[in-house]
Structure 1
């Protein structure tokens, strides 16, 4: 009988992913559901329409493989699980990007779609520069995967491979086109950089992921031909993960008890830094702060024309970025907006600010700082604060912990590994 006990503190997406995976390979797993189940993806009722559930995450999936792997490696495949909940993952239409001067760009989700959409509006030269940059960034993504996404963040990261000495702002300048510069910098804002000009250049990968893997959203699977499908927000996935917790017999316990390993799945607050005035003058150290998330609103509009699926519009203003998603509901069109021009108060659950290479390097490692310390997997981990990044961080910490307890390497890169669920 397997006796290894792992305790997960926090029901964030990273915490759920780690708990489900470790339970699947035979560990006894307890979960302290501190905070809402699913973290920022936790669905809650709209005030004026209690029957309508909303959440505060962007509803578009940009790396569905993270979810497919989680569900497949912990039981039934994603498609099967979604079918059981009358859900399906469908391709999202291209986002519409609108700029203050009236320019409008519609970018298809593949390389050709980007090239065509930019060429038609901004010309051949701009389209070529954008495409050439993202082709280079595709290679950067391969290095980034090994630096906190699929492997623990290295103690001595390869700065050259990760473009350490280039910033997102420098890449934007190289594009030599103001609309494309705003496009590129918006990825930094959405990923948690208060100052995207100084953000690490690797954040440009947030443009290559949808170009490579597409953009997707959850939809209801019609029970009959006469029933129209409707788009859903990210929180619909929480029910799928909750059922998987039950299937995998994850125990809800507030205290770790006799756990051999504790995983802290809630993002910590950044530590306060003490520096003298001359250190600040000479080195200008970057302050570690929590992300100031966008102000999120959900407004119901009974008078708007129904929309098909999920419609996304990105407004690039002089003050920043505002993203709005529209979806039809029985009560009218629900408009969910993320207003990055009016950020909320700093919130560690959204991760740590990414306005600089140093802030990224200083993020908490997943491995314990001391022998008796907890492992860490959260929105503040090196992979990032997007839902797919949290899910992959949960996977990463589960691989590490399982290897610590059993000596078995169950990473997907280990082709010789065929893990089976050990009896409990």
Structure 2
């Protein structure tokens, strides 16, 4: 079996399939999860984890407990602090937990604003539940029509119902378009509202050192998964070595976008400075996450202490970069519907499953891990006839069918 790709989908699919007993060749000329890659993934990934369950499940389904593996390397996961939102002269620290978030909005503005925000969070929860069944927990195997969508995703625009919110909160919602959907500022389809629910459902977590509590990038997590490839016997090769019986292609489909726009990713930069705060005091050791909401789009900053320096990762959505490999920009619900499904094709006699970040699951790191899981389940079933997805109650915690 051959898995093609250099990102998280290929990594996740390869580990799961090897655990299921398949002989896997991972074709990746420059695996991005390795620190020596030309563009290491950890230099672009936010140092804050959302949906850690997706990462834990990948470790578990490849034969190791994630927390134990991290502890062996001297790391652990701790809860990340609230996000600081800024717009002109207004600032709001928005907690992750729902009740605390509503209380912060009520204190900053009024009970009426808090009620509107609470109703919006309810809509976000409904959107998340709807999206889970469309490309995250279940594959989208064919074209989606407008009538196929549940009501929670059928709205026309991300910010529908936000007119009575203060400008800063409207920006918090509206800027999900550039951040999660690769759109220009002010655009975004209704499915993106689910990203407002994700951190409240699963929390936000940072990777910290056990010895001094300082934060770090996600590279130790990726290193641990890379070791699992070797332990599971996955061959990582720069090119195909033999004719495979099945292929998972995680590279994006090469197709025209029609009237849709390609995904716009932020300009990314990582800077380092002396690890002191104003007045000469030592800066905080956790990850400080702030968002500057500007008319041209959001600018996200993550800042943390690392090896005597202050590292700052910036995602600047005011200077977007075209990323066709991430699919269509989700500037409307229709554009999200038109993303390519997980479909089988035949290439030189072998069945090929197209499973890329351009699919309905999306390009978020946790979404790519879930897309990789779906690709592994579909491939295993294609070869063996066995359904080993979590929805099959005959499947055990190790991802394999129970004997009885």
Q: TM-score by structure 1 length?
A: 0.85
Aligned to 2:208: 219
Of 235, 250, 264, which aligns to 1:251? Answer: 235
Does residue 367 of structure 2 align to residue 379 of structure 1? no
Aligned to 1:304: 276
Q: 1:119 to 1:402 in 2, by over 3 A?
A: same
Mapped contact 1:25–1:421 kept (Cα < 8 A): no
Mapped contact 2:121–2:196 kept (Cα < 8 A): yes
Aligned to 2:260: 287
CA distance in 2, matches of 1:301, 1:167: 40
How many residue pairs are counted as aligned between the two chains?
A: 389
Does residue 371 of structure 2 align to residue 393 of structure 1? yes
Show CA shifts across 1:348-400 (max 9, x none).
34443111223222222222245855212222121111100000000011111
CA distance in 2, matches of 1:176, 1:154: 38
Show CA shifts across 1:141-166 (max 9, x none).
12211111111115345223342232
Does residue 327 of structure 2 align to residue 337 of structure 1? no
Of 115, 120, 123, which aligns to 2:102? Answer: 115
Mapped contact 1:364–1:381 kept (Cα < 8 A): yes
Of 168, 171, 193, which aligns to 2:158? Answer: 168
The 3-state SS of whatever aligns with 1:36 is: coil
CA distance in 1, matches of 2:19, 2:253: 27
Measured after TM superposition, the shift of residue 219 of structure 1 is: 1.3
Map residues 65-80 of structure 1 onto 2, 5 A cutoff: 65-80=53-68
Aligned to 2:341: 365
Map residues 132-143 of structure 1 onto 2, 5 A cutoff: 132-143=119-130
The 3-state SS of whatever aligns with 1:28 is: coil
Give the alignment's Cα RMSD to 1 decimal. Answer: 2.5
Q: Any stretches of 5+ residues in structure 1 without a counterpart?
A: 1-5, 223-227, 274-285
Measured after TM superposition, the shift of residue 331 of structure 1 is: 3.6
Aligned to 1:63: 51
Mapped contact 2:177–2:187 kept (Cα < 8 A): no
Does residue 350 of structure 2 align to residue 355 of structure 1? no
Aligned to 2:389: 411
Q: Which runs of 4+ in 1 moved over 6 A?
A: none
Q: TM-score by structure 2 length?
A: 0.89
Mapped contact 1:270–1:352 kept (Cα < 8 A): no
Measured after TM superposition, the shift of residue 54 of structure 1 is: 5.6
Q: 1:269 to 1:417 in 2, by over 3 A?
A: same
The 3-state SS of whatever aligns with 1:341 is: strand
Aligned to 1:3: none
Show CA shifts across 1:94-136 (max 9, x none).
0111111x11111111111110111111211111111111113
CA distance in 1, matches of 2:374, 2:41: 31
Map residues 69-218 of structure 1 onto 2, 5 A cutoff: 69-100=57-88, 102-153=89-140, 155=142, 156=144, 158-173=148-163, 175-195=164-184, 197-218=186-207
Deviates more, 1:318-327 or 1:250-259: 250-259
CA distance in 1, matches of 2:41, 2:385: 43
Measured after TM superposition, the shift of residue 304 of structure 1 is: 3.0
Of 227, 240, 247, which aligns to 1:262? Answer: 247
